[in-house]
Amino acid sequence: MLEPIIRVNNIKVVYNEGKANEYYALRGESLEIYPKEYIILFGPSGCGKSTLLYSLLGILPPSSGEILVKGENPYKYNVKKMVQFQRSTVGIIFQSFNLIPSLSVMDNVALPLIFADVPRRERDVRSMKLLKQFGVDQQAYKRSTDLSGGQQQRVAVARSLINDPEILFADEPVGNLDSVSSDQVMGMLEEINIKQQKTVILVTHDAKLLPYAHRVYHMKDGGVEREVINPEKKQIKQTDPGTSILSEIEKLARIYPYASPEELRVKSIVNFLTQDIGFDQIEKLERTVGQFIDGKLTNEGFVDRLMRRVEEGGPEIPKNNAAVFEEKLNIVLKEAREIRSYRDNFTAKVASPRQAERIAGVREDVLRECGIALPPEHIARMDELLKFRIRGFIQSEDFRRRLEAPYENDGMGIPAETARNATWYLEKLIGQGMYL
Ligand code: ADP
């Protein structure tokens, strides 16, 4: 049984305790992080991410609750052990790099070793090796202020690793960087996680970074709101199958615990096709749709069966409706296949034109189905949202909220009712795609 490297049990952190400006920055946080995981603490500014990070680093004692790192509570350490903990168990990089301007790049990296009385020669060898690894060895003898932001952050990463810590913390590490440097630094952190097998815990409010993590803790108002698993990363923490993306069909499964996935799939799609058909017809309709989905009926055969009269055991759907059913069902199945292919062919490195096309197709379909007209400059954001939902980084409720939020607040500014319809429809497509 894999033990967590960090366990946080119900910690509270109160600033200015007992004073008029008393503030609960953490209100009873609990979480577990496993060795070699890449975890993101995600949430808006002020939600308590940094407070949690500093508590984990051993520099901000919680007011109550307990933190265990490798099974030990660092706040019970004596001074000597605490120094050792902060020196060799944890490392950190900051948004603002925190390099010392008067020192050379190499001495900045070696600084933690200077405090540890490591001889100069060894310090230089070790820091040079790291500078080389991160491609800034040419800068070793320059002042840190002569480097670009991206280079400075790479030096800071090298410094954080000089004592070979098991856990690397990063507080908004790319918040001050342009997109190229940001990608480089994120790539380095990924390498540190995968190749050097270190636990990485990154704090950010930037949703773009979420795909890097194994798991994301979404924080809000001093607490973890929920945990989201990255469906594209092989998980270290053991989780139940199907928790990575909660599709409508999985939700249906809670309502119909004895139904097979095929039956649930049919229920979901029939519920989409019609909400105004009598209950007695539904069963027949489900059977017919099931046969069509299984490829046992052609388009024409399907329409014929839909129209078959009640006396002959059919659902007796009027001709016009039957034609609409057939058309809509084919569109849903086509988009569901596109979504499935998008998920199956996704790799973080390459954004292929075919993948972008798939998303564009889904987008057009959702917009058309729900009668939404988007200004061209809003399309990129819509596609981002679709990708995030399809890949399971956000739940349907987040998707709906983002559709509804004003464009200035990272939303799409779509009216509430329409946003609900669009979300509902997308969930249909995703749910169908999951079971293809
Ligand atoms: P985040 O990292 O998510 O932006 P922080 O953990 O920095 O959030 O802060 C959480 C809340 O605690 C904020 O409302 C902040 O104003 C408050 N806070 C942070 N540090 C202090 C402090 N030293 N004294 C009082 N309040 C603080």
* Tens-digit pLDDT profile for residues 265-293: 887 788 777 655 655 677 788 889 999 99
Atom of ligand 1 nearest to the CA of 44: 3
> Whose CA is closest to 395, among 253, 172, 210, 206?
210
The Cα–Cα gap between 249 and 261 comes to: 8
Atom of ligand 1 nearest to the CA of 219: 3
Asked if 26 and 55 count as a contact pair (C-beta separation under 8 A), the reply is yes
Check if 242 has its Cβ closer than 6 Å to any atom of ligand 1. Answer: no
Q: Given this model, what pLDDT does residue 308 score? A: 92
The Cα–Cα gap between 339 and 358 comes to: 7
Sheet strand arrangement including 90-94: 90-94, 167-171, 199-204, 38-42, 215-220, 223-229
Tell me the CA–centroid distance for residue 25 and ligand 1, in Å: 6
Q: How many residues does the chain have?
A: 436
Tell me the CA–centroid distance for residue 24 and ligand 1, in Å: 9
Q: Given this model, what pLDDT does residue 275 score? A: 54
Tell me the CA–centroid distance for residue 219 and ligand 1, in Å: 13
Q: What is the pTM of this model?
A: 0.63
Residue ID of nearest Cα to ligand 1 atom 14: 46
Q: Given this model, what pLDDT does residue 248 score? A: 66
Q: Given this model, what pLDDT does residue 136 score? A: 96
- What digits encode the pLDDT tens for the residues 335-386? 999 998 988 887 656 678 889 999 999 999 999 999 999 999 999 999 999 9
CATH architecture of 6-89+165-255: 3-Layer(aba) Sandwich (3.40)
Q: Given this model, what pLDDT does residue 280 score? A: 60
Instruction: Say what the alpha-carbon torsion angle 391, 403, 228, 184 is, to the nearest 10 degrees.
Output: 70
Domain map (residue ranges) of the chain: 6-89+165-255, 279-317, 326-434
Atom of ligand 1 nearest to the CA of 51: 6
Q: Which residue has the tokens 């932001």?
A: 149
Sheet strand arrangement including 23-33: 23-33, 6-15, 64-69
Tell me the CA–centroid distance for residue 40 and ligand 1, in Å: 18
Say which residues have a Cβ less than 8 Å from residue 91's Cβ, sequence separation at least 6: 160, 161, 163, 165, 167, 168, 169
Q: Name the stretches of the chain with pLDDT < 70.
A: 230-233, 239-248, 250-258, 274-280, 347-350
